[in-house]
Amino acid sequence: MSPYDPSAFPPFAVTVDLVVLTVRHHALCALSVRRGEPPFQGRWALPGGFVRADEDLSQAAARELAEETGLRAQSGAHLEQLATYGDPQRDPRMRVVSVAHLVLAPDLPAPRAGGDARSARWAPVGTLLGEDGPDHPGDAPPLAFDHARILADGVERARSKIEYSSLATAFCPPEFTVGELRRVYEAVWGVALDPRNFHRKVTGTVGFLVPTGGTTTRQGGRPAQLFRAGGATLLNPPMLRPEV
């Protein structure tokens, strides 16, 4: 076996980038930070940063989330690796490979900037991706690096997974109404759903929702039944996304 020579291979860095999604004011929103340092100083970007030599990817993701925004990984939040991005020209500093993570959580608090971020905010994904039309244009210039592609991939992952899994409940508090869950689907998919048909589907899917025995009037009107997420991870039949 020939000896391994590390110097025979070009060095490169590994980063983590975070697509953090939540539903705020009935809209699917993503966390973004304004870069305080070059490259792309002053541009909006996804939170993230370089992986340290003594940490694994999940530790790096949690650290960057806290450092740049003040947000802590919640036990009720959903976290998964999204994809790896390795275009040789994606970062002008050096060869950088990014391992993106997707975070889904209920309405999160206002972020605070830190690390190399000048400021942080929640913004509708349509605004960040320039999809809101001429009356609500997206940010100009666009997101730094290849973060528009990463964000778009994360949004599509979320939209697809709530069709066949119970992942939509990750956007809800521990106890929620069917109406609140429906508004999550509407925000993520960007469509309006028939309330009666939606109620029939979600309450008729085995293991999706479990009644808590309680009710609430927080949405106004008559008391609404409260549910929590059931044990099912896959939905059968799936909640098919309407064609737009």
Q: What is the pLDDT of residue 4?
A: 84
CB atoms within 10 A of CB 191: 12
Q: What is the pLDDT of residue 132?
A: 64
Do 40 and 144 form a contact (C-beta atoms < 8 A)? yes
Q: What is the pLDDT of residue 130?
A: 87
Q: What is the pLDDT of residue 6?
A: 84
Instruction: Report the alpha-carbon distance of residue 29 to residue 219 in Å, rounded.
Output: 21
Do 209 and 182 form a contact (C-beta atoms < 8 A)? no
Q: What is the pLDDT of residue 115?
A: 65
Helix, strand or coil for residue 40? coil
**What residues in the chain have per-residue pLDDT under 70?**
1, 73-76, 114-117, 132-141, 244
Instruction: Report the alpha-carbon distance of residue 210 to residue 103 in Å, rounded.
Output: 24
Q: What is the pLDDT of residue 139?
A: 42
189: phi then psi, degrees, rounded to nearest 5 = -80, -20
State how beta strands 96-104 and 13-24 pair.
parallel
Instruction: Report the alpha-carbon distance of residue 233 to residue 208 in Å, rounded.
Output: 8
Strands (E), 75-208: 78-85, 96-104, 117-124
Instruction: Report the alpha-carbon distance of residue 189 to residue 176 in Å, rounded.
Output: 19
Q: What is the pLDDT of residue 225?
A: 97
Q: Mind giving me the DSSP string for 92-105?
A: SSS-EEEEEEEEE-
Residue at token pair 């109406």: 179
Rg (alpha carbons) of the chain, rounded to whole number: 20
Q: What is the pLDDT of residue 138?
A: 46
